[in-house]
Amino acid sequence: MATKIATKRLQKEFQAMQKSPPPFCVARFEEKNILDWHFIIRGPPDSPYAGGEYHGLIMFPSEYPFKPPDIKLFTPSGRFETNTKICMSMTSYHPSSWNAAWSVATILTGLLSFMLGDEITTGAVKTTDEEKKRFAAASHAFNIANRKFRDIFPEYAGPEMKDLPDMGLPKPTGPTTLTSPAAEEPDTDRAPADLVSPPPPPRTTDTPESLVSSAAAATTTATTTMRTGIQQQPGVVGVRQSWFARWRWVLAALAVIILGRISSS
């Protein structure tokens, strides 16, 4: 019987497998026992197992994930003995090499990699590539004749073999956005100001001509201000009035003399 830790962990892994199963693999646990996980492995292309469908079982201990599981295959493959525990670094044959961070997806990926090799160990057999291909061609018919396979994987128990969710094909990176020609070309109906870059900021450095004009204007203003100021000063007005008072009799005499000469002539 599974512990609470094992149950919680396997439920979490089942959700992860539903969202993102590993390539060429699918797995689910039995309804009455969460520790027994049935799986399907499909033979990858360019391998002797291409077109093959292999049904097997992962048997987790109640102490999972702190102890490793056991694995066996039911479908003849030419690589493993049927109904026999397979010796792998991720099974109970090697508890010291087990990593509690490994998951169902990790185990299935490792099993597929081990299947594509040729190491001879407990549960493994040695056959030719031609024999493996014959087993692959007969694998689906073998599986659908198995009641347990039909109960666990009803959607894959039809007359024709069905692809798994991930068959190792490249995944699209995202939807392609189609751009209309109008979006690619400038809109000539807009005002010209919308089609050109904004004008550069105004220059902050004055030209020589502007400096001369500014100096001249400043000089004129200063001169006018000086004259106006002198005229408005009281001392200057007093000097002018005293000068006129001193010389007005002389001017009057000169005027008499000049009129006399005019009259005599």
Q: What is the DSSP annotation of 34-70?
A: EEEEEEEEEPPTTSTTTT-EEEEEEE--TTTTSS--E
What's phi and psi for 161, nearest 5 deg?
Answer: -70, 140
Are 86 and 56 in contact by the 8 Å Cβ rule? The answer is no
157 vs 154: CA distance, rounded Å: 5
Q: Which residues fall within 8 angstroms of residue 23, CB to CB, at 6 or more apart? A: 44, 109, 166, 167, 168
> Does residue 87 have an active-site annotation?
yes
Q: Give the CA count within 13 Å in the CB-facing half-sphere of 83.
A: 0
Annotated catalytic residue, options 30, 61, 72, 87: 87
Structure tokens at 153: 């994987």
Are 47 and 116 in contact by the 8 Å Cβ rule? The answer is yes
260 vs 168: CA distance, rounded Å: 136
Q: Which residues fall within 8 angstroms of residue 190, CB to CB, at 6 or more apart? A: none
Are 82 and 128 in contact by the 8 Å Cβ rule? The answer is no
Active site residues: 87
